[in-house]
Amino acid sequence: MFIQKKILAISGPRFLSAIEQSSLSFDRLILLAEPQSVRRFMLTLRMDNGEKRVFTGWRIIFSDCLGPTKGGVRFHPSTNESDLITLAFRLLLKCAANGLPHGGASGGVAVDPKKLSPKEKERLARAYLNALMDQVGPDVDILSPDLGTDAGVMSWMSDQYNKNRRAYIPGAINGKPPELGGILGRPTATARGAWTVLRAFFVERGITPTGLTFAIQGYGSAGGNLARILQENGLRLVAASDSTGGLYSQFGLDAEALWKAKEQGHSFKDLQIGSSSPIANDEVLTVKADLIIPAATANQITKGVARNLKCNWVVEIANSPIASDAEDEVIARGIEIIPDIVANAGGITMSHFEWAQNRGGLSWTAEEASSRLDSKMSVTAANLLQVARNRKVSLAIASQFMALERLSSALHL
């Protein structure tokens, strides 16, 4: 019971439910209760004014049972060890469920990147890489961007890694600009993968997507691009938000106009699109719509929000957007969950392709990369639907069974 409680704290009820229905041995269960390694270190950063400040950094390796680990590096003031352990675990599940040859990892620094100058951010990126030294590498642990980091930060880390190794080894760092070995098509990969999964779901259920309504919380790269793709395929956006606020219109919002406004630096609180009305960020989740798409941060659908949902489906583009104690409420209300470890796996799948491209000395066109992504995500979506049918479980539980099947074979003492 103690082991189950530890796993529940890390994974949430969905994974524990799958474990209770599986034949996973106790010996292997123990290996999922704790991360393989936890590194915590202090980074001394020289500021532009000459002062020195100290920031806390982490790198969590949950398990390398499937291959070299992969996971993001976040620069965010709320970064903490507990969240990173959970994130590394979910990366492990995501790689397992999607058939990717990687273990799960995560890392970051407790810092507000908006308060750093470009030079300060560069020095922090290089210091973080130096703190990990030979624990990073294409056959060991591969770093990727996350909250507060981007292609520029990854290019600094890649350059520092190459300098330390005195060699050009692009496969150690993912999310780089294409000119430095990054892969074309990465910015839209999460959204493209999500649409592939949704399309397969609609086909199996005999649902015509044209005319369905949707709302998106989090109009960033994943959420904004998905809104544009859904609109192109006949769905109607009725509500959307960023961190500053939201907009609602029962007659529909123009996803392209919102995207262009965001590109021009506008915030939702300053926008007026057509007949839209301003609403709070969290109200976007409770508007009446066929699909509610949380694409911001974790735990946005709380018990209170769950009781007020007015949708048929929740499409999890953010990681763990439904709080652990709210999931039963969502299920009890007959709302189906399209699970995150499949729905948002387009990003990590494209990241894997970048690693494979670097390892093979190849350079794929955007069309080649996108075609590979479509094929891979179509297979994963088909597997998800088949497991749900065969086991007579929800898609959310089916995704956990997909992960468990690979993990039960790969875990060893």
Q: If DSSP codes are grouped into helix, strand and coil, which group holds residue 131?
A: helix
**d(Cα 94, Cα 194) in Å, to the nearest integer?**
14
Q: What is the pLDDT of residue 63?
A: 96
- The string of DSSP codes covering 37-72 is EEEEEEEEEE-TTS-EEEEEEEEEEEE-TTSSEEEE
Q: What is the pLDDT of residue 4?
A: 67
What domains lie within the chain, and their CATH numbers? 35-179 (3.40.50.10860), 188-343 (3.40.50.720)
Q: What is the pLDDT of residue 202?
A: 98
Report the amino acid identity of residue 257. Answer: A
Ranges of residues in the chain whose predicted pLDDT is under 70:
1-4, 8, 412-413
Residue 10 makes CB contacts below 8 A (sequence gap 6+) with 32, 33, 85, 86, 89
